[in-house]
Chain A
Amino acid sequence: MQADCKDDTLLRDVEQFIYREARLQDEYQYEAWEALWTDDAIYWLPANDADIDPEQQMSIIYDNRSRIGVRVRQLLSGKRHTQEPRSRLRHFVTNVEILSREREEIRAGCNVMVFESNLRGETVWAARTEYLLRPEGGTMRMARKKVALVNNDRPLYTLSFLI
Chain B
Amino acid sequence: MPVTQTHIPEWSDLIRADRVHGSLYSNPAVFEEELEKIWYRTWVYVGHESEVPSANDFVMKSIGPQAVIMARGEDGEVRLLQNRCPHRGNQVCTEASGNARTFTCPYHKWTFANDGKLTAFAFADGYEGQDMSHLSLGRVPRVASYRGFVFGSLATEGPSLADHLGGAAETIDRLCETSPEGEVEITAGFLQHRVQANWKFVMENETDGYHPGFVHSSIFSVADSGIGGLYGPKSTALTRSYGNGHTEIDLRPEFRRLGQPMGWFGTTVERLPDYATSMNRSYGTEKAREIMIDGTPHVMIFPNLFIAEIQIFVLQARAVDDTIQHVTALQFKGAPDLNRRLRQQTMGSVGPAGFLLADDSEMYERTQRGVAARTPEWIFLGRGEHRERDDADGFRVGHATDEVPSRGMWQHYRSLMEAA
Where the two chains meet, the residues of A that have a C-beta atom closer than 8 Å to any C-beta of B are 45, 47-48, 52, 55-63, 67, 70-71, 73-74, 77-82, 119-120, 153-160
CB distance from B343 to the nearest CB of A (A): 7
A80 adjacent to B218 (CB under 8 Å) = yes
Number of residues on chain B facing chain A (CB within 8 A): 39
A45 adjacent to B189 (CB under 8 Å) = no
Among listed B159-167, B237-245, B356-364, interface-contacting one: B356-364
CB distance from A105 to the nearest CB of B (A): 26
Give the docked Cα–Cα distance between A82 and B352 (Å): 11
**Chain A residues with Cβ under 8 A from B359's Cβ?**
80-82
User: Which among A52, A79, A82, A155 is the interface contact of B358 at CB below 8 angstroms?
Assistant: A82
Of residues 359 through 374 on chain B, the ones whose CB sits less than 8 Å from some CB of chain A are 359, 361-363, 365-366, 369
- For the A-B complex, the count of residue pairs with Cβ-Cβ distances under 8 Å equals 102
**Chain A residues with Cβ under 8 A from B222's Cβ?**
70, 73-74, 77
User: Which among A45, A55, A78, A81 is the interface contact of B353 at CB below 8 angstroms?
Assistant: A45
Of residues 204 through 219 on chain B, the ones whose CB sits less than 8 Å from some CB of chain A are 215, 217-219
**Chain B residues with Cβ under 8 A from A63's Cβ?**
348
Whether A79 touches B96, Cβ cut-off 8 Å, given contacts A58-B328, A160-B358, is no
* Chain A at the B interface: SS class: loop
CB distance from A145 to the nearest CB of B (A): 14
**Chain B residues with Cβ under 8 A from A78's Cβ?**
218
B343 adjacent to A157 (CB under 8 Å) = no
Kindly name the residue among B340, B346, B359, B361 whose own CB sees the greatest number of chain A CB atoms within 10 A. B359
Where the two chains meet, the residues of B that have a C-beta atom closer than 8 Å to any C-beta of A are 96, 188-196, 215, 217-219, 221-223, 324, 327-329, 340, 343-344, 346-348, 351-353, 355, 358-359, 361-363, 365-366, 369
B215 adjacent to A155 (CB under 8 Å) = no
Give the docked Cα–Cα distance between A63 and B96 (Å): 26
**Chain A residues with Cβ under 8 A from B347's Cβ?**
58-59, 61-62
A81 adjacent to B324 (CB under 8 Å) = no
**Chain B residues with Cβ under 8 A from A80's Cβ?**
218, 358-359
A81 adjacent to B215 (CB under 8 Å) = yes
User: Which among B196, B218, B344 is the interface contact of A74 at CB below 8 angstroms?
Assistant: B218
User: Which among A52, A61, A155 is the interface contact of B324 at CB below 8 angstroms?
Assistant: A155
Give the docked Cα–Cα distance between A78 and B217 (Å): 10
B96 adjacent to A74 (CB under 8 Å) = no
Apart from A60-B352, A73-B222, A158-B361, list 12 A-B contacts with CB within 8 A: A56-B343, A57-B189, A58-B191, A62-B347, A70-B355, A74-B218, A77-B218, A81-B218, A158-B193, A158-B362, A159-B353, A159-B358
**Chain A residues with Cβ under 8 A from B219's Cβ?**
70, 74
Closest residue of chain A to B340, judged by CB? A55
10 tightest A-B CB contacts, nearest first:
A79-B218, A155-B194, A155-B192, A82-B362, A73-B222, A77-B218, A159-B352, A160-B358, A57-B189, A82-B358
**Chain B residues with Cβ under 8 A from A70's Cβ?**
219, 222-223, 348, 355
A60 adjacent to B351 (CB under 8 Å) = yes
Whether A157 touches B188, Cβ cut-off 8 Å, given contacts A74-B218, A77-B222, A119-B366, is no
Give the docked Cα–Cα distance between A154 and B318 (Å): 14
**Chain B residues with Cβ under 8 A from A73's Cβ?**
222
A58 adjacent to B353 (CB under 8 Å) = no
Closest residue of chain A to B215, judged by CB? A81
**Chain B residues with Cβ under 8 A from A67's Cβ?**
348
Give the docked Cα–Cα distance between A12 and B355 (Å): 35
Give the docked Cα–Cα distance between A160 and B354 (Å): 8
Closest residue of chain B to A159, judged by CB? B352
**Chain A residues with Cβ under 8 A from B362's Cβ?**
81-82, 158, 160
Give the docked Cα–Cα distance between A63 and B349 (Å): 11
Give the docked Cα–Cα distance between A57 and B324 (Å): 19
Give the docked Cα–Cα distance between A11 and B131 (Å): 68
B365 adjacent to A156 (CB under 8 Å) = no
Give the docked Cα–Cα distance between A153 and B190 (Å): 9
A157 adjacent to B195 (CB under 8 Å) = yes
